[in-house]
Amino acid sequence: MLSKPDTTSTRRQMAQALALLRRAAHPDRHHLAWAILWLAAAALLEVLGPIMGKALIDEHLLPHHLDWPRMAGLLAGVVLTGWIASGLRYLQLVRLSGLAMRSVMRLREMVYNHVLSLPMAFFDRAITGQLVSRVTNDTEAVKNLYIQVLFVMLDSTIVLVGTVCAMAWLDWRLMLIVLALLPAVLLIVWLYQRWSAPAVTRARALRSEINGQMAESIGGMSVLQANNAEARFGARFAATNREHYSARLSELRANAWLLRPALDMFNIILLAAVIFMFGHREMTATEVGVLYAFISYLARVIEPLIQITMQFSQLQQSVVAAARVGALLDEAATALNTEAGLAADRSAANDASVPAVSIRHLDFAYNPGQPVLHDLSLDIPQGSFTGIVGHTGSGKSTLLSLLLRFYPARHGSIMMHGMPLDAIDNDRFRNEVGLVPQDPFLLAASARENIDMGRNLPQEQIEAAARAAHAHDFILALDQGYDTALGEGGSRLSVGQKQLIAIARALAGTPRILLLDEATSHIDSQTEQIVQVALDELRGKVTVIAIAHRLSTIRDADRIIVLNHGRIAETGPHEQLMQIDGGLYQRLYLLQQLAA
């Protein structure tokens, strides 16, 4: 759902946008300083032109004082100052455009890396398409801020100030009249902003929503088509798209009906006012030059003002985009308790008698007031094989997510190899704990890259992991062996083969603890047996904790933990649990036997 645009937050958005610009442009600050200096020089030249024109008229043309070399010099000055100012300005535009591109590049990397560090709780509420939009469109829109704020606005402001000073020097009373009319422009801009700002914010939010809907539909296309939901999704998309269209239209209306006509009218009023003032004065010869210079300057006052105001629509969009990028960067990254890390006794980490996992009085809720795990306590010895079973929704995956540090365990404690979970250094933690998820996530890359996952592991280690996962043989049978591209999401492999690659990936990091989240639920019995053999071979070397719906996978586990509504209902090896008459495990097992 889209939130209603809040116009009162504009100032905060602007501050957030400027902070972001400062951060992204920091390495280019010298370029920025030079650009401002050269823009000031260009403005100075621009102001000088009409002064030389005035001198030509007043000192030579009107008094017929034909000093040709000086006249040629002044004429050349009038023409050249304009040209050089344009040239300088163009070069600064190029400089600032380069700066803008580099800043966007930095921003994108910053945002992407930040997204990678965000806790899983963030992704529970994030919408993929909107996040993608943040990293691509919004950062791109920030580029306009550089071009608009730093180039057009800055340049126009410098020209404006320079021109007003030159006018004051020529005739301060006339300058005051021009200046007195300027608040009218501010009023026009203010009205425009009030009218268009909500539409701008809404248009951006809707664009992001469009991306979100598109990504969601493409991601779930099979489900969507199988449910004959094309028409419903099409209608939902059309409604959002139309809303986006009307938001953009209101923005354009504000521009077409208010901004441009009002500014053009203002231009005419200003010109008329200056000519009227001259008409009421006894025009001396010298005043003709002043009139020429004033009329030249009027264009230089009006044009920057128009430029500044015309940028507001784009500027607002960019500020909204920058504020959204800023808000994403402000999302707190996964916080680790470094104090606990310092206090922890690291010697325990290498003590073989210390449990691999030790959980004490663990309570957990995703949302306050809706507990998922209740007062869980258990020890898992190193090198053991533990199965976790239970009805759907009993909290199995939640327990695994907590062991993976995807969510912080706020009530109770989890220790891994004798150290508090949140005290373990991130690299070490990720090296020590391997995960085989329910849906193996494969990259559109080679088999080798899929096992390596950017860790730059040596080929021998990759092959050893593939052998341990019983994936080596089928990988070699692919047309280019380990270099075979597996297609998007591993589309060239069967579900079972994908799962074996995922196991090889987890093992390639030589983890001390291997977590399997229903890793066998999608595979056939034959592949399941291969997985079982692979897991058996790990016994004593790696601590395996496996969630299983299919109880045959964990039948041979040293210990099975049966969860029921977030509590440990039963625990023990298969034979022992089967002895509990009417027990939960026994019932689950017999049910599966019946179904088979």
Ligand X SMILES: Nc1ncnc2c1ncn2[C@@H]1O[C@H](COP(=O)(O)OP(=O)(O)OP(=O)(O)O)[C@@H](O)[C@H]1O
Which residues would be at the binding site for ligand X (CB under 6 A)?
A: 124, 366-367, 372, 390, 392-398
User: Measured from the CB atom, is 69 or 369 closer to ligand X?
Assistant: 369
Task: Provide the token pair at 186.
Answer: 């501010």
User: Measured from the CB atom, is 296 or 394 closer to ligand X?
Assistant: 394
Residue 388 to residue 366: CA distance in whole angstroms:
20
User: Measured from the CB atom, is 39 or 380 closer to ligand X?
Assistant: 380
The minimum distance between CB 124 and ligand X, in angstroms, equals 4
User: Measured from the CB atom, is 229 or 365 closer to ligand X?
Assistant: 365
The minimum distance between CB 516 and ligand X, in angstroms, equals 13
Furthest CA-CA distance within the chain: 122
- Which residues, including other chains, have CB under 8 Å from residue 385's CB and lie 6 or more apart? 535, 538, 539, 544, 546, 554, 556, 557, 558, 559
The minimum distance between CB 557 and ligand X, in angstroms, equals 17
User: Measured from the CB atom, is 100 or 547 closer to ligand X?
Assistant: 547
Q: How far is CA 432 from CA 403, 428, 480, 513, 542, in A?
A: 12, 6, 31, 6, 10
Task: Provide the token pair at 259.
Answer: 């901004």
User: Measured from the CB atom, is 539 or 549 closer to ligand X?
Assistant: 549
Give the burial class of 491: count Cβ atoms within 10 A of its Cβ; 0-12 exposed, 13-18 middle, 19 or more buried. exposed
Q: Is 507 left (phi over 0), alpha (psi -120 to 50) or beta?
A: alpha
Query: Is 348 in contact with 418 (CB distance < 8 Å)?
Result: yes
The minimum distance between CB 122 and ligand X, in angstroms, equals 11
The minimum distance between CB 421 and ligand X, in angstroms, equals 18
The minimum distance between CB 593 and ligand X, in angstroms, equals 19
The minimum distance between CB 398 and ligand X, in angstroms, equals 3
Residue 385 to residue 513: CA distance in whole angstroms:
10
The minimum distance between CB 3 and ligand X, in angstroms, equals 21
Residues 11-24 as b or e (16 or more Cβ within 10 Å = b): eebbebbeebbeeb
User: Measured from the CB atom, is 241 or 564 closer to ligand X?
Assistant: 564
Q: What DSSP line would sit under 196-253, residue for residue?
A: HHHHHHHHHHHHHHHHHHHHHHHHTHHHHHHTT-HHHHHHHHHHHHHHHHHHHHHHHH
The minimum distance between CB 588 and ligand X, in angstroms, equals 12
The minimum distance between CB 389 and ligand X, in angstroms, equals 9
Residue 102 to residue 244: CA distance in whole angstroms:
30
User: Closest by alpha carbon to 384, among 554, 508, 527, 550?
Assistant: 554
The minimum distance between CB 367 and ligand X, in angstroms, equals 6
- Which residues, including other chains, have CB under 8 Å from residue 409's CB and lie 6 or more apart? 362, 364, 402, 421, 422
Query: Is 490 in contact with 440 (CB distance < 8 Å)?
Result: yes
Based on C-alpha coordinates, what's the Rg of the chain? 35
Give the burial class of 80: count Cβ atoms within 10 A of its Cβ; 0-12 exposed, 13-18 middle, 19 or more buried. middle
Q: Phi then psi for 355, rounded to 5 degrees? A: -60, 145
User: Measured from the CB atom, is 430 or 565 closer to ligand X?
Assistant: 565
Residue whose token pair is 């074996």: 500
Task: Name the 3-class secondary structure at 404.
Answer: coil
Residues 101-112 as b or e (16 or more Cβ within 10 Å = b): ebbbebbbebbe
Strand 371-380: give its sheet, edge to edge.
Answer: 371-380, 357-365, 411-416, 419-420
The minimum distance between CB 312 and ligand X, in angstroms, equals 41
The minimum distance between CB 423 and ligand X, in angstroms, equals 24
User: Measured from the CB atom, is 123 or 172 closer to ligand X?
Assistant: 123
Task: Name the 3-class secondary structure at 481.
Answer: helix
User: Measured from the CB atom, is 374 or 539 closer to ligand X?
Assistant: 374
User: Closest by alpha carbon to 142, among 255, 225, 259, 20?
Assistant: 20
User: Measured from the CB atom, is 124 or 330 closer to ligand X?
Assistant: 124
Residue 354 to residue 332: CA distance in whole angstroms:
33
User: Measured from the CB atom, is 82 or 220 closer to ligand X?
Assistant: 220
User: Measured from the CB atom, is 492 or 550 closer to ligand X?
Assistant: 550
Task: Name the 3-class secondary structure at 412.
Answer: strand
The minimum distance between CB 390 and ligand X, in angstroms, equals 5
Residue 426 to residue 119: CA distance in whole angstroms:
13
User: Measured from the CB atom, is 372 or 551 closer to ligand X?
Assistant: 372
Residue 404 to residue 121: CA distance in whole angstroms:
13
